[in-house]
């Protein structure tokens, strides 16, 4: 039987097999020239994209021991908008989103988590919505295996629920995950989305969640 596994010869190379780059987080096969080239390309673009030099007029909406959250609004100076566009491009590449344009670009709020070493390590993009559809719990029968294969085809209820805020993107840099950065971004969003009120978890909705996004949302919203 033919196997699709890629074989690698151990000829005593310095790096061998699967490697995770400690700066850009890309997983690649060191010793495979094609993979190494792809890594070099991604590495520079990624680090340039997430570099944050600081702005004179930045809107800091939360501060933590390991970084801060900056809010960017649609009419902010072009340097801030450009940074958001660069980060969104990286995020969309990772999520496999292509040219997903926000429904109301003038009302979009973008929250960037900036690490102490001046990198954008988290991003949340939110927009106002009026309704959302609950993801139904997964079937547990034998057919559930196929639903896992087509990752994002969650079954949704067709009964609309009133909602206020849609999270169109949430992303945390691979090497910084499980440090509650996403949780802090959503907490901050709930506090800052509408002036003077703290949104309940029923009022926020995650659009088209990935498997990671669904696991996070389920835990965050206790659903
Ligand atoms: N598997 C299981 N549980 C998870 C996962 C996961 N991958 N991620 C988060 N959780 C749960 C955990 O219970 C976690 O608490 P714990 O670490 O104490 O157990 C809790 O959620 C809080 O997690 P955070 O640390 O706040 O989440 P993190 O900062 O790692 O970010 C995120 C989560 C944004 C989903 C990240 O994994 C990511 O960027 N993934 C790739 C991009 C992506 O898929 N984004 C979602 C797209 S959907 C959308 O944009 C609407």
Q: Which atom of ligand 1 is nearest to the CA of 177?
A: 30
Which one of 216, 217, 220, 222 would you pick to mutate in the ligand 1 pocket, going by the greatest count of ligand atoms within 8 A of its CB?
216
- Is the interface score ipTM higher than 0.95? yes
Q: Which pLDDT does position 97 carry in this prediction? A: 81
**Positive or negative torsion for Cα 198, 211, 68, 64:** positive
Residue with tokens 């040219």: 99
For residue 130, the tally of other CB atoms under 10 A from its CB is 9
Q: Say yes or no: CB of residue 167 within 6 Å of ligand 1.
A: yes
| Backbone region of residue 70 per phi and psi (left: phi > 0; alpha: psi in -120 to 50; beta: other values) | beta
pLDDT of residue 148: 47
Token pair, residue 66, equals: 């390991």
39 lines ligand 1 (CB under 6 A): no
What is the model's pLDDT at position 106?
A: 87
Quick one: pLDDT at residue 98? 74
Distance 51 CA to ligand 1 centre (A): 22
Ligand 1, atom 37, residue with closest C-alpha: 212
> How many Å apart are CA 166 and CA 183, to the nearest integer?
15
First to last CA, the chain: 44
Residue 171, ligand 1, Cβ within 6 A: yes
Q: How many CA atoms lie within 13 A of 159 on its CB side?
A: 1
- Among 113, 87, 88, which residue's Cα sits nearest to residue 101? 88
Rounded average pLDDT per 10-residue block, the chain, 223 residues: 62 73 91 91 93 94 98 95 93 82 82 97 96 80 48 80 95 96 98 95 93 95 89
């Amino acid at each position: 039987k033919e196997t699709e596994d890629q074989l690698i010869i151990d000829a005593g190379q310095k790096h061998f097999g699967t490697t995770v780059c400690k700066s850009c987080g890309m997983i690649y096969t060191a010793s495979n020239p094609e993979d190494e080239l792809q890594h070099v390309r991604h590495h520079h673009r990624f680090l340039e994209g997430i570099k944050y030099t600081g702005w004179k007029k930045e809107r800091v909406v939360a501060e933590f021991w390991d970084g801060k959250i900056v809010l960017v609004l649609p009419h902010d100076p072009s340097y801030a908008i450009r940074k958001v566009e660069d980060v969104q491009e990286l995020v969309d590449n990772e999520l496999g989103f292509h040219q997903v344009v926000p429904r109301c670009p003038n009302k979009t709020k973008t929250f960037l988590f900036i690490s102490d070493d001046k990198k954008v390590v988290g991003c949340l993009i939110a927009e106002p919505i009026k309704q959302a559809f609950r993801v139904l719990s997964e079937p547990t029968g034998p057919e559930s295996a196929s639903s896992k294969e087509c990752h994002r085809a969650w079954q949704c209820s067709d009964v609309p629920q009133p909602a206020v805020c849609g999270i169109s993107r949430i992303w945390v840099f691979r090497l910084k995950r499980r440090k509650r950065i996403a949780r802090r971004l959503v907490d901050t969003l709930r506090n800052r989305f509408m002036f003077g009120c703290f949104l309940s978890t029923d009022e926020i909705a995650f659009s088209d969640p990935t498997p990671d996004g669904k696991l996070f949302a389920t835990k965050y919203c206790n659903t």
